Amino acid sequence: MTKRKRVLSLVMAALMLLALTPAGSELRPTAYAVTQDDIDSLKGDAKDLASQRAEVKSELAALQSERAGIMEQKRLIDQQIDLTEKEIENTESQIAGYEVLLSQTAYELEENQKAEEAQYELFCRRARAMEEAGTSSYWSVLFKAESFSDLLSRLSDIQEVMDYDQSVLDDLRKLKAQIKAKQEEQEELKAGQEAAKVTLEEKKEDLATQRTAAEALIQELNSEVAEYEADLKEIQAAEDALQREIAKKEEELARQLNWSASVGGYIWPEAKSKRITSPMGTRNIHYPGASTNHKGVDIGGVGYDTNVLATKSGVVMTSAYHKSYGNYVVIFHGTGNTTLYAHMSSRKVKEGDRVNQGDVIGVTGCTGVSSGPHLHYEITENGVRVDPLNYLPGYIKAW
pLDDT at residue 111, rounded to an integer: 82
Distance CA 310, CA 114 (A): 55
pLDDT at residue 374, rounded to an integer: 96
The residue among 127, 145, 123 whose CA lies nearest residue 135 is 127
Reported as a pLDDT band with limits 50, 70 and 90, residue 253 is: very low
Do the strands 326-334 and 337-344 form a parallel or antiparallel pair, or are they unpaired? Answer: antiparallel
Q: What percent of the chain has pLDDT over 70?
A: 58
CB 179 within 8 A of CB 109: yes
Instruction: List pLDDT tens digits, range 351-383.
Output: 889 999 999 999 999 998 887 899 999 999 988
Can you say whether the dihedral through the CA atoms of 57, 319, 304, 70 is positive or negative? Answer: negative
> What H or E segment, with its residue span, contains residue 9?
helix 3-20
Instruction: List pLDDT tens digits, range 172-217.
Output: 678 778 888 888 888 888 888 888 888 888 888 888 888 887 777 6
What's at 284, amino acid-wise? N
Q: What angle do CA 152, 153, 154 make, to 5 degrees?
A: 95
The residue among 256, 294, 365 whose CA lies nearest residue 27 is 256
End-to-end CA distance of the chain: 42
Phi, psi for residue 331 in degrees, rounded to 5: -115, 130
Highest mean pLDDT out of 18-32, 43-57, 215-229:
43-57
35 versus 340: the higher-pLDDT residue is 340
Q: Give Cα separations from 210 to 73, 206, 218, 253 (angstroms).
A: 11, 6, 13, 51
243 versus 289: the higher-pLDDT residue is 243
Instruction: List pLDDT tens digits, range 257-267.
Output: 454 446 789 99
Q: What is the mean pLDDT of residues 3-15?
A: 57
Distance CA 291, CA 218 (A): 14
Q: What is the mean pLDDT of residues 285-313?
A: 81
pLDDT at residue 154, rounded to an integer: 64
Q: Give Cα separations from 170 to 115, 157, 371 (angstroms).
A: 13, 20, 71
Instruction: List pLDDT tens digits, range 69-127.
Output: 666 777 777 877 887 887 788 788 888 877 877 788 888 878 877 877 776 676 666 65
Instruction: Extract the runs of DSSP E, i.e. beta strands, from the chain.
Output: 275-278, 281-282, 293-294, 297-299, 307-309, 314-322, 326-334, 337-344, 346-347, 354-355, 360-363, 375-381, 384-386, 396-397
Do the strands 360-363 and 346-347 form a parallel or antiparallel pair, or are they unpaired? Answer: antiparallel
Distance CA 172, CA 123 (A): 8
Reported as a pLDDT band with limits 50, 70 and 90, residue 2 is: low
Q: What is the mean pLDDT of residues 275-293?
A: 67
Does residue 327 carry a pLDDT above 80? yes
Distance CA 359, CA 191 (A): 39
Q: Give Cα separations from 364 to 293, 298, 305, 319 (angstroms).
A: 22, 11, 6, 14
Does residue 285 carry a pLDDT above 60? no
Distance of CA 52 to the CA centre of its chain: 36
Mean pLDDT, rounded, of the chain: 75
pLDDT at residue 180, rounded to an integer: 85
Does residue 333 carry a pLDDT above 60? yes
Query: 3-class DSSP state for residue 103?
Result: helix
Burial 332-341 (b: 16+ CB within 10 A, else e): ebeebbbbbb
pLDDT at residue 137, rounded to an integer: 55
The residue among 253, 250, 101 whose CA lies nearest residue 185 is 101
pLDDT at residue 386, rounded to an integer: 95
Instruction: List pLDDT tens digits, range 266-280.
Output: 999 999 999 999 999
7 dihedral zone (left: phi>0; alpha: psi -120 to 50; beta): alpha
Burial class (CB in 10 A: 0-12, 13-18, 19+), 299: buried
Instruction: List pLDDT tens digits, range 215-240.
Output: 776 666 544 444 445 555 665 666 56
pLDDT at residue 204, rounded to an integer: 85
Does residue 290 carry a pLDDT above 70? no
pLDDT at residue 232, rounded to an integer: 58
CB 321 within 8 A of CB 274: no
pLDDT at residue 259, rounded to an integer: 40
pLDDT at residue 319, rounded to an integer: 94
Does residue 136 carry a pLDDT above 70? no
pLDDT at residue 363, rounded to an integer: 97
